[in-house]
Structure 1
Amino acid sequence: MCPKTQPRRRGLRIAVWSLVTTLVVAAGLVGVVLWQNSYDMEEQRVTIRHGGHTLNGVLAIPKDGRKHHGLVVYVHGDGPTDATHGDGYKPMWEANAKAGYASLSWHKPGVAGAPGNWLDQSMEDRADEAAAAIAWARARPDIDGDRIGLWGTSQAGWVLPKIAAKTPVAFAIAVSPAINWLQQGRYNLLAELRADGASAARTTAEVAKSDTIRRLLGRQATFEEYVRTMGGDADGMTADRWGFISKNYTADVTRDLRALHGIPVLLTLAGRDINVDIADTERTYHKVLDTGGALTVRHHPDAAHSLLKQSIEQSDLKITFTALFSPRSLFADGFLDSQRQFLKELDQSRATP
C-alpha cells in the first residue's frame, strides 16, 4: 500500500501546484488587462436633447482638480459607431485629459440602444446633431465655452466644416479626411485592387461596375433599380445603405472647408492609407487654409487609415491582444502625443499676450 500511496500524493501535489500556478498567472493577466484599460479620467454617461430626439453619450473629464476644461467633441467616421468606438477612443480621451481637455462623444442613432437610424442622416444632419451637442456643453459650468473644438475621422471630414459654419469652434482635428466622396471611392477601389494583385481584366470590370453605380446615383435610382441592374445580386448593399449613399455621394469639402479658415486645424494623415488619397487631401487643405496660418499637418508613415499601426491592423489577433494588454500601442507612434501637444500649444498661445 505505502509504495503506491507516495506517488499518488506526489501527483496530487503537482496537480495542486499546477492549478495554483495557472490561477496566479491568470489573475496576473487579468490585472494587467484591467490596469492597461484604466484611464486617467472620469467618464460620465450623458443625455443630450436634439430636435425631439435623444443623444446618448459619454463625457470624459480630466482628473486634474480644475473646475473648467476645454472640450474635444468627437464626430465619428462611417459605420454603426458607439460613443467610445468600442473603447478605441479612450486612449485619445486620456491624451486630451493630460492636456486639460474633456472629451464628448455619443452613440450614432440606432447604435447601442440609441433611437433612430444613422443611415437616415445626411452630412448636414450630422452637423446639426453636433452643433446641438456643443450648445449643450456650453451650458455646463465645468466646460469652457471658448475652448470647444472638434475631432473627426474619415467621413467626418465632410461634417467638421459644416459644424464650424453653424457654431463657433476653437479648433479642429481632422484625421484621415477625404475631399470628394466619388473621388475617394474610386481611389479606394483602385488601391484595394492593387493590394489584391488584381488582373487588368478584373480591374476593368470593377471600374465599369463602379461607373454603372455612379450613373444610377446620378439619376436617383431606387434600391430596387440598383439590384436589377446588378443582375439581382445586391452584393451586401441594403436599402438603408443605398439611401444613405444617395443622400451623400455628392459630398465635397472644398467649399465648406472655408468655414475653418483662421481656426487652428491639425490635419493628421496616414502613410499607408488605401481609403483616402492623402496627397489630394493635403493639397486641398493647404490651398484653402494656409493663408490663415493656422494649419498644422502631421504625417504618420506606418499608419493605416484608422491611424492604427498597419502591422497591427492587418491581424485581428494582434488587434485583440494589443487592445487587451497595451491599448495605447494600437496607434501609430506619435499619434496620441501629437494631439495632446496640439491642445497644449493652443492653450499656450491663448495665454500669450
Structure 2
Amino acid sequence: MGPLLAAGGLTGVAAWQNTYALREEKVSLRHDGKLLEGVLARPARGEGPFGLAVFVHGDGPIDATHETFYRPLWESFARAGYASLSFSKPGIGGSQGNWLDQSMKDRADETLAAVAWARDRPDIDGRRIGLWGASQAGWVLPEVAARDRRLQFVIAVSPAVNWLRQGRYNLLAELDRDGATTRERDAALRRRQTTLRLLERGASFGEYRAVVGDVDGMTAARWRFIARNHRSDATAGLRAMRGTPLLLVLAGHDVNVDVEETEAVYRALLPPASLSVAHYPDATHSLVDHDVEGSDWRLTMTAVFAPRRLFAKGFLTDQARFLERLDPRTGVR
C-alpha cells in the first residue's frame, strides 16, 4: 500500500505542477489554401479584450504547445493581461502542409495572417498585439514587424542575424564543446565549405550526397529547406522595424547563436529607446537552466514535477514585466 500511495502522491504533484492559470481554446486558421491548427491561451479570468503574444517557432517540427514547453510562458503573459496564440507548424499537430517547404518569407506571411485573424476577435485588443519568437524566428520577427507597424512589441529569444555566420559559429562552438581535435575541426570546416559551394550553385540533394558521402542525417526535404533559406539575414528587417519596442533575450551558454554579434547588431540598428536587452548567464539557447539541461535525469524530473523551473531564473517574470511596462494607449515604454 505504501508504494501505491507514494506513486499516487507523485502523480498528484505532477498534475498540479502542470496545471496552469489559463483557458486554452483550440483554434484554426486557413492560410495559403491550407488549414493550420493551434491554441489560443487566454488569462484564467475576465472576458478581455486581452493583449496578445503571437508565437513564432524556432527550427524543427514544433506543435502549438511545443510539447507543453510554452505553457509556463503563456501563464507569465496571462499574469500581465495577455493571451498567447500559437499554431502548429505545417504538417505538425493537425496543420496541413510541410514546414520544410517554407521560406522565411512564407513564415512571415503566415505570422501576419495569424495577427490579422486575431484582430478580428472581440476578446483580443488589436492595439496590444505583439510577437514572441525564438531562435530561427529571428529571421521572421523583424520582417513581420516591418510590414505591420501596428504591432505593439517584439520579444526575440536567442535570435541569430545571418544564417551562414550562425551556422559557422554553431559548428565551431559544438566542436569546442565536444573537445574536437585540430584534425577533426579542419575536416568539419572543409566539409562545410564543400556544402556551401554546393548550395551556391543550386546543387540537388543527389549531388550533395554524391560529393559528401555520409550525409549525417540530412534528408532531401531538409536540403531543399536549407537551400531555400541559407541566405537569410535579419538586418534589413531590423532597420525597417525601427521604433517597435523589442526585448532581446540572450543566454550565457548559447552554442547555437553568437550572442555577442546578435547584441551588437541589434544595438547598432535599433534606436536605444526601443530596445531592451536581458542577459541570462546561466541559460542555454532555449533559456533552460544550463545545469538542468546538462543532466538528463534533472531535465526529465524538472519537466514533470516543476516545469516552471526549467527556465533560467527570472526569465518568466521578466517576460511579464516587459509587457506590463508597455503603455497600452501608445505601444511605447
TM-score (norm 1): 0.92
Does residue 308 (structure 1) correspond to residue 288 (structure 2)? The answer is yes
CA contact (8 A) 1:69 1:143 kept: yes
Query: How far is 1:25 from its partner?
Result: 1.0
Structure having the higher helix fraction is: 1
The CA distance in 2 between the partners of 1:351 and 1:166, in whole Å, is 16
Q: Which has the larger radius of gyration?
A: 1
Structure 2 counterpart of 1:187, which letter?
A: Y
Pairwise mapping of residues 258-337 of structure 1 onto structure 2 (< 5 A)? 258-291=239-272, 293-337=273-317
Q: Which runs of 5+ in 2 are unaligned?
A: none
Structure 1 segments unaligned to the other structure (5+ residues)? 1-19
Q: Following superposition of structure 1 onto structure 2, how do residues 155-304 of structure 1 map, counting pairs within 5 Å?
A: 155-167=136-148, 168-231=150-213, 233-291=214-272, 293-304=273-284
**Runs of 4+ in structure 1 over 4 Å off:** 348-353
TM-score scaled by length of structure 2:
0.97
Q: Distance in 1 between matches of 2:50 and 2:28?
A: 19
Structure 1 pair 245–351 and aligned structure 2 pair: CA distance change class (3 A): closer
How far apart in 2 are the matches of 1:114 and 1:66?
28
Amino acid at match of 1:326: A
Question: Separation in 1 of the partners of 2:326 and 2:119?
Answer: 19
One-letter amino acid matched to 2:107: R
Counterparts of 1:138 and 1:315, CA distance in 2: 42
CA–CA distance in structure 1, aligned partners of residues 254 and 45 of structure 2:
36
How many matched pairs? 332
- Structure-1 residue corresponding to 2:322: 342
SS in 1 for 2:288: coil
Q: Distance in 2 between matches of 1:64 and 1:99?
A: 12
**CA drift at 1:351:** 9.3
| Separation in structure 1 between the aligned mates of residue 303 and residue 163 of structure 2, nearest angstrom | 31
Q: Secondary structure at the match of 1:283?
A: helix
The 2-side partners of 1:129 and 1:108 are apart by: 10
- Offset of residue 125 of structure 1: 0.2
For 1:327, the aligned partner's letter is P
- CA RMSD in angstroms comes to 1.5
* CA spacing shift, 1:124–1:36, aligned 2, 3 Å: same
- Alpha-carbon distance in 2 for matches of 1:164, 1:348: 17
Question: Post-superposition shift, 1:24?
Answer: 1.4
Shift of 1:112: 1.8
CA distance in 1, matches of 2:160, 2:250: 10
* Distance apart, 1:350 and its partner CA: 4.7
Q: State percent identity of aligned pairs.
A: 56
Contact 1:64 1:100 in 2 (8 A): no
The 3-state SS of whatever aligns with 1:302 is strand
1:105 CA drift (Å): 0.2
- Secondary structure of 1:301's match? strand
